[in-house]
Amino acid sequence: MSAALLSAEALRIGYRGTSMLPELSFAVAPGTVISIVGHNGSGKSTLLKTILGLTPKLGGEIRIRRDARLGYVPQRETMDPIYPVTVGELVETGRYGIRGVGRRLTPPDRARVREMLEATGTARLERRLFRTLSGGEQQRALLARALCAEPSVLVLDEPTASMDEKGAHEAMGLTLALARKHGAAIVMVNHFIDLVAEVSDQVIHLDRDHQRVTIGPPAEVLKGRGSQGRYSS
């Protein structure tokens, strides 16, 4: 457990003092992929937001290794479509966690921004408004922003939402390649069962209806679940 980048012990998640699920305990080791699955409303996004500190935990512990840093890729639908931010401006915000909000970016900061724009194929979109991009382009821009933070753990909330299976595999392939190149582990919510089974080291299955949490290798946790490549309860 001491080598884990991030760990949860007897973690309770929920709202207004009411737990959604039984306690969870898991660890994220360097270079690993942990996928969170479950039907709508099972607590997947709540778990991610609790890990990130965006939602208060109800009990237990979340530990992040002192030298570890988290990078967050939210659901595209949570981005305000009215806010007139360009792709370049959006990606630059990924450096604020290192440099500080309102601080002027240094040449090394801008070099990192450029590197991530190039790596994700969004350099040509730098001056475009984020809201005008396709779903796949928006996902790449959000990934570039997260990687600008030099994360030890990439936290992805439905990175393949609204994509077909082919597009999901392509997007996940890029994400995995960049995560491995930069030495980042991945914790993600994803509903594509085949994809989860293919890329994950561990799977966390949340079943709110039956108040069960199952954690283990994908071959064990995903057995008998899914329909036409997507999760179904």
- Residue 92 belongs to domain with CATH number: 3.40.50.300
High-pLDDT (> 70) share of the chain, %: 91
pLDDT of residue 223: 84
pLDDT of residue 232: 46
* 92 and 51 in a common domain: no
* 18 and 76 in a common domain: no
* 58 and 105 in a common domain: no
pLDDT of residue 160: 84
pLDDT digits over 124-154, tens only?
999 999 999 988 899 999 999 999 999 999 9
Predicted TM-score (pTM) of this structure: 0.89
pLDDT at 60 over 90: yes
* 89 and 56 in a common domain: no
In a domain, 134, yes or no: yes
Segments forming the whole domain that contains residue 93: 69-214
* 88 and 64 in a common domain: no
pLDDT at 233 over 50: no
Report the 10 Å Cβ neighbour count for 35: 27
* 12 and 98 in a common domain: no
In a domain, 233, yes or no: no
* 202 and 112 in a common domain: yes
Give how many domains the chain has, as a whole number: 2
pLDDT digits over 165-211, tens only?
888 889 899 999 999 999 999 999 998 899 999 999 999 999 999 99
* 84 and 62 in a common domain: no
* 64 and 158 in a common domain: no
